[in-house]
Chain A
């Protein structure tokens, strides 16, 4: 199975971190567990899904959305939850045709 190269940036500003962002940092572990039955290893995930922490991007002040924030390939997601991100990556990263 092919995994689409994806860039995930998790805001590590204090507000995001405290309002649930800390849980997002378990993303790799959770992905590895979730995709293991499809024969995808953690190494494969780390090779394709580039997860990084980003300094506060200021959305907690500017947008009407609530923290925590992250971006997936530049697209902003507010009130992010681990479950929501997992479902998103399921749909966008896994090549279902193979």
Chain B
């Protein structure tokens, strides 16, 4: 996976905050058409073929930040101000979550191993000896890979003493665990919606930023500055995503204009209660094992790719779902905004009648920048923070919470799937016939758990310290 310490990450954050700054200052419609030109001025060195393409990319990114489905609803002609006007008048339906900037795609063709000119045609030729598919021949004293035979195992690269063999990846395809990335004959990317689980890995792996998540920040900003009652549902992984204490972060969210700020960890309490009860019942009925159900990407994955696990997934609802329901019970007309590290939650939120919008920590950061809120300088909320199950945010945390809530006499075996990788999905498929040797399996789509989610700001090595 591409490191998130890169120029595209900062560009994404800068654009989101620019958009919101204009909105807040009341000059969005008047000034938004200038953003691509201001960001890519005439005399600037361009990164693609010319400044006009760079500007077009900025335009597409701004559209995705306004929630536009670029594949369906961008006519390529409308001015940004026209689109912004439309988006402000009527919120755009948020699904599908991921959309492709087709002209941004660099058309990487196929992942492959390639022999470079560093090959010296040595006597030992370990590449040839170790290739399991006899795909390597020598032509003119240099190794040559027959792509028809090659299965991309990489053994030739590993054994070459001159590092002469390179792997040329297609980043989006390589990180997609479910084969949802499609390429047409020209190499242009598209997403197979029937297979996609909205994990968001492709959107973070593409070095050209050609796959983007659609945002609801403009809708949320509209609600925050309007008369409606707005509730923030904040995921526990927020701790450590900004400088300052958890209390300061929650206070900062409140000062954006949220009338009520609820920690989703409150909902996690209900999830723990229901899930531990369910586990006891299932074990009493002699069921082989149960998996957790709080990760939306995992639920989509089971639905679309691992049907054999359908009956093994807990029926307990996610912390977000319980927290949103509780918010509505407190006030029926509140507009609920889930704020988390997750792209898949945008899909879960769209299907949940109690969740009105979903934004990521990165999008929250853009709000802080636009509202000029310095988290570390914000006064803490009054009183001590409540004791809540916030450990859900890190891998292992859900299983630990559920195990701790069981009757003391009941000892269970837990297993952990940390990261929905191709390998882990294959492993879970095998559990259909050979059940895993565990009672409870915690499944998290992201490595490190939610703190490793695509909407996070901080490296998980750092945020882990908070849990």
Binding site for B on A (CB under 8 A): 12-15, 17-20, 22-23, 25-26, 29, 53, 55-56, 82
Contacts and interface: CB of A to CB of B under 8 A. Distances in A.
Interface string B239-273: 00011100000000000000000000000000000
Interface stretch (B115-123, B302-310, B371-379): B371-379
A58 to B, nearest CB: 10
B459 interface: yes
Contacts of A82: 5
A13 B369 CA distance: 10
B374 A56 contact: yes
A23 B459 contact: yes
Interface string B447-458: 000000000011
Contact of B374 (A13, A22, A29): A13
Interface in B24-81: none
Given A22-B458, A55-B376, A55-B377, A17 B369 contact: no
A56 B373 CA distance: 11
Contacts, number: 50
A75 to B, nearest CB: 22
B462 interface: yes
Contacts of A26: 459, 461-462
Interface of A is mostly: helix
29 contacts: A12-B244, A12-B376, A13-B374, A13-B376, A14-B242, A14-B365, A14-B368, A14-B369, A15-B369, A17-B243, A18-B13, A18-B368, A18-B457, A19-B13, A22-B457, A22-B458, A22-B459, A22-B462, A23-B5, A23-B459, A23-B462, A25-B462, A26-B461, A53-B243, A53-B376, A55-B374, A55-B377, A56-B377, A82-B5
B14 interface: yes
Given A26-B459, A53-B243, A14 B10 contact: no
Which of A14, A17, A25 has the largest count of B CB atoms less than 10 A from its CB?
A: A14
Contacts of B368: 14, 18
A59 B276 CA distance: 51
Given A53-B243, A55-B374, A56-B374, A18 B461 contact: no
Contacts of A17: 242-243, 375, 457
Interface in B355-377: 362, 365, 368-369, 373-377
Contacts of A29: 461
A17 B462 CA distance: 13
Contacts of A25: 462
Contacts of A56: 374, 377
Contacts of B14: 19
Contacts of A12: 243-244, 376
A64 to B, nearest CB: 14
A82 B3 CA distance: 14
A94 to B, nearest CB: 25
A12 B378 CA distance: 12
Contact of B5 (A18, A20, A53, A55): A20
Contacts of B458: 22
Nearest to A82: B5
A20 B10 contact: yes
Which of A17, A29, A56 has the largest count of B CB atoms less than 10 A from its CB?
A: A17
A53 B461 CA distance: 18
A20 B365 CA distance: 12
A36 B277 CA distance: 50
Contacts of A19: 10, 13-14
A27 B45 CA distance: 32
Nearest to B5: A23
Contacts of B373: 14
Interface string B311-330: 00000000000000000000
A18 B243 CA distance: 10
A96 B57 CA distance: 48
Nearest to B7: A20
Interface in B113-170: none
Contacts of A20: 5, 10
Contacts of B365: 14, 18
Nearest to B373: A14
B239 to A, nearest CB: 13
A5 to B, nearest CB: 25
A73 to B, nearest CB: 22
B24 to A, nearest CB: 15
A13 to B, nearest CB: 5
Contacts of B376: 12-14, 53, 55
B459 A14 contact: no
A76 to B, nearest CB: 19
